[in-house]
Structure 1
Amino acid sequence: MATEISNVGDPARSVATLWGTRRLPRRGPRHSLTTAQVVDAAVEIADGDQDLDRLSMRRVAQALGVGTMSLYTYIASRDDLLDAMLDSVHGEAVERLGEPDHATWQDGLRSVARAGWDLHMRHRWVMQVFTGRPPLGPHSIAKYERELGVVEGIGLTDVEMDAVITLVHDHVEGVARRRVEADRAVRRTGIGDEEWWRAAGPELEAVLDPAAFPIATRVGEAAGRAHRAGQNPEHAYEFGLDRLIQGIEALIHRRA
């Protein structure tokens, strides 16, 4: 899958499109569509494909039953469409997070992580997009606001608050990517991890000398028994998130 980059078009036009403050020149016949309908159709296509490689203005137009040129009345380019798609699905995370009424900031960070995990599982194409220049739409900014609210007033500087949210997202995306790749391996080979290891295990035992690799043998066997596979993304998600939170707690306590 190719990597996409968000916000590579005209930055001012992208912001104006996302906030609905700029009207594009009308091309072709008049249609009773809205920009939201165009974006929703594109998201549905990308969700079905589980990637962005085949997403095009032509396919979106076909899904809506209109001519391709008419879409440019609503979205100026595929790049702007991608920004709008990201902003749209970020709105789902805003709804999931709700108002910041968590009992503790630790619970709040777990909610931020879970909302991100759910978003990546529902919209797997999101992992193809590098968001170093994020979409600056209303949903994306609302999501950022809700996430920062979780760590507001707990003893972090503003820069550290931003870094903590970024750290949580990086962890979630990394594990989600492994989960998606594992699912892709199952589809490609036609067998699950447990079946794969049952086939590979005897052959490995025949050539592996545990005395030569004592630590790898012991730990690998323990992890295999625990996960019934070579890896367990859900365990990695929970384990890593707990360690992140403990590290943030240590930072706050040390400073106090």
Structure 2
Amino acid sequence: MVVFAGQGDARRSLSLLWRGEVTAPPRVGPGPRPRLSVDAIVAAAVAIADEEGMAALSMRAVGERLGRTAMALYTHVPGKSELLDLMYDAVHAELPSAYPESESDDWRAPLTAWAGEVLEFYVRHPWVLQVSQARPVLGPHEYANLDTLVRLLGATGLPARTVRRLVGTLFPLVQGSARTVADARRAAGATGSSDEEWWAARAAALTELVPDFAERFPAVVGLEREGAPEPNPEDGEGKDLPYPEREARETFRVGLGVLLDGVEAARAGQGPTTDTGRP
């Protein structure tokens, strides 16, 4: 399910988004009924989306979590569309705005750290991945994260147009990897079968139904044979993770590395440095 941000009243949404500096939304749990405010409403909405997914989000559900009626919320937030904008921007406050800079002018380490932080952010809040990037929220924390990335990419010394294209490349890479990790974590619970059970059943059926599979798809079969990862690493990062998540994280690591290798090549004058592809 894709959700488009910015569907509420433009002026009202933006005035709420820029109403002042706020920190990441506090957790809403048992205890005295919180004073109703924009921040309390956003925190409750984020908690629902984190725990139950975007489909469970409604003004009524938020009101129930706060011990109030849905109507009581409208004094503070005009509707669900404006609430989504506020939620999206509020959780972005979790992301760091600064990364350690290397004394050796190493632009690569901060970019790698940024990508890793954003990956984990999306995994914590998978519902954020359902918010379409076609229309940004235009909130302060969303802009702060973007500004951080632009600053880190600017340290590469590449032209502004190239940096612009790299921004549009890095975000989808991180988002796609995070989506795979989040899906891998939910798959067993959502389908009622483990990854091992799912693959075993379909591998057996495919072998029976398509006996010439290897002849029809030799490149895929060859890649699986020659490029297969170790099934059960005994040590190293991710050794305790389920196979699909471990694979997704390794794919992210390698893909990011290849992308940054390309940045290095462009810096050295060995690759395209503008959006036209001309050096």
Same-fold call, TM cutoff 0.5: yes
Residue 216 (structure 1) aligns with? 220
Q: Deviation of residue 164 (structure 1)?
A: 1.6
Aligned to 1:71: 73
Q: Deviation string for 1:98-117 (max 9, x for gaps)?
A: 42433222111112211211
Cα deviation per residue 1:42-63 (whole Å; 9 max; x = unaligned)?
Answer: 00000011x2122111111111
Match of 1:239 among 254, 272, 279: 254
1:225, distance to aligned residue in structure 2 (A): 5.0
Q: CA RMSD for the aligned pairs?
A: 2.5
Partner of 1:15: 14
**Residues 158 and 267 in structure 2, CA contact (< 8 A), matched pair in contact too:** yes
Instruction: Report matched runs for 1:143-182 at 5 Å.
Output: 143-182=145-184
- The letter of the residue matching 1:220 is E
Report how many residues are paired: 242
Structure 2 residue 254 is matched with structure 1 residue 252: no
CA contact (8 A) 1:39 1:84 kept: yes
User: What is the CA-CA distance between 1:200 and the residue it aligns to?
Assistant: 4.2
Distance across 2 between alignment mates of 1:69 and 1:168: 41
Greater Cα shift, 118-127 or 189-198: 189-198
Name which structure has the greater RCO, CA cutoff 8 Å, separation 6+. 1
For residues 108-144 of structure 1, give each alpha carbon's deviation from its aligned partner in whole angstroms, at most 9, with x where no partner exists.
1112211211111100111111032212222112222
Q: Which amino acid aligns with 1:14?
A: S
SS at match of 1:4: coil
Q: In the alignment, residue 88 of structure 1 is paired with which amino acid?
A: A
Per-residue CA deviation, residues 132-157 of structure 1 (Å, 9 max, x unaligned), is: 22122221122222222212242223
Distance 1:102 1:87 in 2: 26
C-alpha spacing 1:153/1:110, structure 2 compared with 1 (3 Å)? closer
1:85 alignment partner, one of 81, 87, 99: 87
Query: Any idea what the Cα deviations from partners look like across 1:21-46, whole Å, max 9, x if unmatched?
Result: 7xxxxxxxxx9322111100000000
Question: Distance in 2 between the 1:8 and 1:233 partners?
Answer: 33
Q: Which residue of 2 aligns with 1:42?
A: 45
State the 1:223 CA deviation. 4.2
Counterpart of 1:33? 36
**Residue 188 (structure 1) shift:** 3.3
What SS does the aligned partner of 2:36 have?
coil
Change beyond 3 A, Cα 1:14–1:213: closer
* SS of equivalent residue, structure 2 residue 54: coil
Counterpart code for 1:79: S
Structure 1 range deviating more: 84-93 or 245-254: 245-254
Letter matched to residue 178 of structure 1: T
Residues 225/98 of structure 1: CA separation in 2 closer, same or farther (3 Å cut):
closer
- Any unmatched runs of 5+ in structure 2? 21-33, 233-242, 274-278
CA contact (8 A) 1:9 1:80 kept: yes
Give aligned-pair identity as a percent.
32
Task: Work out whether residues 100 and 149 of structure 1, in 8 Å CA contact, stay in contact via their aligned partners in 2.
Answer: no
Q: Which amino acid aligns with 2:168?
A: T
Determine whether 1:4 maps to 2:9. Answer: no
> In structure 1, what is the Cα distance between the partners aligned to 2:201 and 2:56?
36
Q: CA deviation at 1:181?
A: 2.9
> Matched residues in 2 for 1:199 and 1:130: separation?
35
TM-fit CA distance, 1:8 = 1.8
CA contact (8 A) 1:178 1:233 kept: yes
AA aligned to 2:223 is V
1:217 to partner: Cα distance = 2.5
More helix by share: 1
